[in-house]
């Protein structure tokens, strides 16, 4: 954001003007014209607050402003002067139906003082609507960590670009709905929010192999592979084949069950190993003898042992936090930094799952999943995701793009399936 700000085609005061105006507009649309209290800190986040106060006043909203100390930047001083109205000390500010937190944004370096964070929490809890400017104060922008107590907001208005904290736990759970205000700058880079994927078209002369063969290696619990293989079939693979020693119930008839099949078969678009694998590390070893692209999920991740074994494997791995720690140990830094370090160590595309799923590539690209419903947290949904990614990979998408697309589609399928869905229901929405 700092380099985007420096390269901005307009003056910084104009950016602040746009930020404050967008904040006022978003708060007004969200809460309606109810009496508002703006809490303004010493930096430019506070400056945005003074601008927003001026706009709300122009829109005939009843506005009060409470400040935490004096403005410390030229921009904030100018915005404070342009407000021109009364300024209360934050310690005695009375509650209001709409509270807008402009204490700290991206410049926060340490936790708020106890008295300030308690005051903020008290005012937020007694408000009908609580809105945060850029970030709730106390959130660390880069890591999503909480540097001090952070109350739950209803709306967070981010400026210019989402920061990592808007998509990382625990911070994202405090933000309520997150909206992005266009203030005329963009922050381009290898970190981005995953958007709706462009899926490969089906060629007019396609046949089942050209559309992608997914070959699945089953283990001790075939039900999990039934979910994954069904998901692969429903995600546009031309052919899904399951190698199994005993018939698996519940698979669509179009999914072919075979005994052994050669894993060097060049028609295999993607191998899938892990769902329901159990204690059969030899199946992972077998998969690693194949040079075909692969998705390694669930128990298979635990059998990898050394991440370097995945180098040159053209693999996507899909660990949740437990599986991630088993394979990579306790890595330092934020979840984003850990995911990237894991991708670099393994040479694999890492889908680090959770409420804040990330997709990391060894070359430094990092996709942040848009929020997905919490009701995805049930058994079997990970198997479905693994099958989806395998199908997209077999359809010819590169590993990173296939993983991002799978994650995005999985979240949207869950939204459509609704709160009492089970993993099997997701299949109907792919
Ligand atoms: N990027 C853009 O394009 C645009 C950015 N804009 C806005 O600017 C915001 C960033 O502004 P910012 O850099 O001035 O930082 P901000 O969050 O206001 O805080 C810094 C101040 O707080 C202080 N301080 C820090 N921690 C503290 C603590 N725990 N307790 C007490 N004090 C503490 C710190 O003091 P210091 O530690 O340096 O002494 C400093 O004085 C950004 O979030 C967005 O809202 C928009 O206007 C439009 C364009
Ligand atoms: K804030």
- Contact (CB, 8 A) for 68 and 6: no
- Contact (CB, 8 A) for 333 and 339: no
Average pLDDT, the chain: 97
118 Cα: distance to centroid of ligand 2 (angstroms): 15
**CB of residue 13 inside a 6 A radius of ligand 1:** no
**CB of residue 20 inside a 6 A radius of ligand 1:** no
- Regarding pTM above 0.80, the answer is yes
Bridge-based pairing of strands 358-360 and 349-352 is antiparallel
**Ligand nearest, relative to CA of residue 182:** 1
**CB of residue 5 inside a 6 A radius of ligand 1:** yes
Higher pLDDT, 82 or 92: 82
pLDDT of residue 7: 87
- Residue range 347-373, pLDDT digits in tens: 999 999 999 999 999 999 999 999 999
**CB of residue 112 inside a 6 A radius of ligand 1:** yes
Determine if residue 259 is labeled as part of a ligand binding site. no
The verdict on whether omega for the bond into residue 170 sits within 30 degrees of 0, i.e. cis, is: yes
Ordered DSSP codes for 197-226: --PPPPPTT--TTTT-EEEEE--S-HHHHH
- Whether 40 has a pLDDT exceeding 90, the answer reads yes
pLDDT of residue 1: 83
CA distance 49 to 93: 15
Spell out which residues have Cβ within 5 A of ligand 2, the ion.
101, 132-133, 137
pLDDT of residue 186: 84
pLDDT of residue 396: 97
- Contact (CB, 8 A) for 419 and 235: no
* Extended beta strands in 237-365, E state: 239-243, 256-258, 268-273, 294-296, 315-317, 349-352, 358-360
For 21, 27, 54, 84, 413, the CA distances from 58, given in Å and listed in that order, are: 11, 14, 6, 12, 43
Determine if residue 224 is labeled as part of a ligand binding site. yes
**CB of residue 73 inside a 6 A radius of ligand 1:** yes
Share of the chain above pLDDT 90, in %: 95
CA distance 39 to 356: 29
- Residue range 94-143, pLDDT digits in tens: 999 999 999 999 999 999 999 999 999 999 999 999 999 999 999 999 99
Instruction: Give the number of other CB atoms < 10 A from CB of residue 50.
Output: 28
Whose CA is closest to 84, among 103, 61, 102, 58?
58
- The mean pLDDT of 307-336, rounded to a whole number, is 98
**CB of residue 159 inside a 6 A radius of ligand 1:** yes
**CB of residue 140 inside a 6 A radius of ligand 1:** no
Categorize the per-residue pLDDT at 333 as very low, low, confident or very high, splitting at 50, 70 and 90: very high
pLDDT of residue 400: 98
If one residue of 42, 43, 134, 162 were mutated to test the ligand 1 pocket, choosing by the most ligand atoms within 8 A of its CB, it would be 43
Point out which residues pair with 389 in neighbouring strands: none
- Whether 260 has a pLDDT exceeding 90, the answer reads no
If one residue of 105, 118, 164 were mutated to test the ligand 1 pocket, choosing by the most ligand atoms within 8 A of its CB, it would be 105
């Amino acid at each position: 954001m700092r380099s985007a700000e420096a390269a901005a085609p307009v003056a910084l005061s104009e950016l602040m003007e746009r930020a404050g105006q967008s904040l006022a507009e978003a708060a007004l649309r969200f809460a309606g014209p109810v009496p508002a209290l703006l809490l303004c800190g010493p930096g430019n986040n506070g400056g945005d607050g003074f601008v927003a106060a001026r706009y709300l006043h122009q829109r005939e909203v009843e506005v009060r402003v409470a400040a935490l100390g004096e403005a410390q930047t030229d921009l904030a001083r100018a915005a404070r002067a342009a407000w021109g109205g009364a300024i209360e000390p934050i310690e005695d500010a009375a509650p209001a139906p709409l509270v807008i937190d402009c204490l700290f944004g991206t410049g926060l370096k340490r936790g708020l003082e106890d008295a300030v964070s308690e005051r903020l929490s008290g005012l937020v809890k007694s408000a009908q609507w609580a809105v945060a400017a850029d970030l709730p104060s106390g959130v660390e922008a880069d890591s999503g960590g909480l540097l001090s107590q952070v109350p739950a907001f209803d709306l967070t208005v981010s400026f210019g670009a989402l920061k990592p904290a808007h998509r990382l736990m625990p911070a994202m759970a405090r933000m309520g709905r997150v909206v992005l205000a266009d203030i005329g700058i963009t922050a381009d880079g290898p970190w981005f929010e995953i958007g709706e994927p462009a899926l490969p078209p089906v060629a007019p002369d396609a046949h089942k192999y050209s559309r992608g063969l997914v070959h699945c290696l089953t283990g001790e619990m075939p039900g999990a592979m039934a979910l994954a293989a069904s998901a692969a079939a429903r995600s546009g693979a031309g052919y899904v084949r399951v190698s199994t020693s005993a018939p698996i119930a519940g698979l669509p008839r179009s999914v072919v069950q075979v005994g052994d099949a050669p894993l060097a078969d060049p028609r295999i678009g993607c191998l899938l190993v892990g769902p329901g694998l159990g204690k059969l590390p030899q199946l992972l070893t077998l998969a690693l003898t194949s040079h075909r692209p692969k998705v390694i999920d669930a128990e298979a991740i635990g059998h990898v042992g050394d991440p370097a074994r995945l180098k040159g494997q053209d693999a996507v791995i899909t660990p949740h936090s437990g599986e991630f720690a088993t394979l990579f140990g306790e890595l330092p830094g934020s979840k984003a930094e850990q995911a990237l370090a894991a991708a670099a160590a393994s040479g694999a595309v890492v889908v680090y799952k959770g409420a804040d799923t990330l997709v990391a590539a060894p070359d430094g690209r990092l996709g942040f999943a848009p929020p997905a419903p919490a009701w995805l947290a049930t058994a079997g949904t990970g198997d479905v995701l693994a099958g989806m990614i395998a199908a997209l990979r077999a359809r010819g998408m590169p590993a990173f793009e296939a993983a991002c697309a799978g994650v995005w589609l999985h979240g949207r399928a869950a939204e459509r399936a609704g709160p009492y869905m089970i993993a099997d229901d997701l299949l109907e929405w792919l």
